């Protein structure tokens, strides 16, 4: 086996689309550790969560990202991209799946809605060590150097140590220079949502989602607290949503009565 073949094979995806500056920035870091192949949505798919496409066929078109990374653009969701890469597009199974760098935080409750996190979670479901990486700033002009350094450290850790079955690492970092990386838990938070009602030229009602983010957590070990202190956060998350504490409390209670 050649030296090139011995390098880890890393699948890169995201939810901002294959032309996003963030995916280029993440691919550059991943390429320091192995051979990179990109499979990402052909357009922005933010906040689609873990949805998959079942009503229309998926199509993949070959692209070169930043004139040096081979890849394919898919007319589907981030989860679609990883599933299709695994099942059809790759002739070699990845040693690692990385998703991002997303433009916008995926800390706290944002984990539930994030297509970036879902691409990584799909990688975990398929049996690959997987990492999601996001920047707290939404601008595509954001300085991603700190995010890249956080990703570099976490990729190195995962390639060396692996991850437990069912666990994904969710990395968030402020824009700008790197100031440190801390293990965290997901902050308790939610959106207080409102829908603004408007009327179109045909006098039909339509609605725009508005509202604000609400932090319900004062813990200093949460991802949002650490980010607010200027550090990057790495949170181990899992797709098993079972409430085990409650299950232990009720397992001897019959539901037949």
Numbered residues of the known binding site for a divalent metal cation: 15-16, 46, 102
The strand pair at 35-41 and 69-74 is best described as parallel
Binding annotation: 15-16, 46, 102
Instruction: Please give the backbone phi and psi of residue 241, each rounded to the nearest 5 degrees, phi first.
Output: -95, 10
Instruction: Please give the backbone phi and psi of residue 231, each rounded to the nearest 5 degrees, phi first.
Output: -100, 160
Here the tokens at position 13 are 């995806």
Q: Are 81 and 96 in contact (CB under 8 A)?
A: no
Here the tokens at position 237 are 């998350």
If one counts every other C-beta atom within 10 angstroms of the C-beta of residue 11, the result is 29
Here the tokens at position 15 are 């939810």
d(C-alpha 55, C-alpha 32), whole Å: 38
């Amino acid at each position: 086996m050649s030296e090139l073949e011995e390098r880890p094979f890393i699948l890169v995806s995201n939810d901002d689309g294959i032309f996003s500056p963030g995916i280029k920035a993440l691919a550059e870091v991943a390429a320091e550790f192995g051979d990179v192949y990109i499979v990402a949505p052909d357009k922005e798919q933010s906040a689609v969560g873990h949805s998959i496409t079942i009503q229309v066929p998926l199509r993949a078109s070959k692209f070169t990202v930043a004139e040096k990374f081979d890849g394919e653009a898919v007319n589907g969701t981030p989860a679609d991209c990883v599933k299709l890469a695994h099942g059809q597009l790759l002739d070699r199974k990845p040693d690692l799946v990385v998703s991002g760098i997303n433009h916008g935080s995926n800390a706290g409750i944002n984990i539930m809605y994030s297509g970036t996190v879902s691409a990584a979670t799909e990688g975990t479901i398929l049996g690959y060590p997987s990492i999601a990486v996001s920047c707290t700033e939404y601008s595509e002009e954001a300085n991603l150097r700190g995010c890249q350094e956080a990703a570099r450290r976490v990729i190195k850790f995962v390639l060396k140590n692996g991850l437990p079955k069912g666990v994904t690492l969710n990395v968030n970092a402020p824009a700008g220079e790197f100031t440190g990386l801390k293990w965290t838990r997901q902050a308790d938070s939610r959106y207080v949502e409102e829908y603004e009602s408007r009327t179109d030229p045909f006098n039909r009602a339509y609605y725009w989602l508005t509202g604000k983010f609400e932090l319900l957590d004062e813990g200093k070990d949460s991802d949002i607290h650490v980010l607010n202190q200027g550090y990057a956060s790495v949170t181990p998350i899992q797709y098993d949503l079972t409430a085990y504490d409650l299950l232990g409390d009720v397992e001897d209670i019959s539901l037949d009565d």
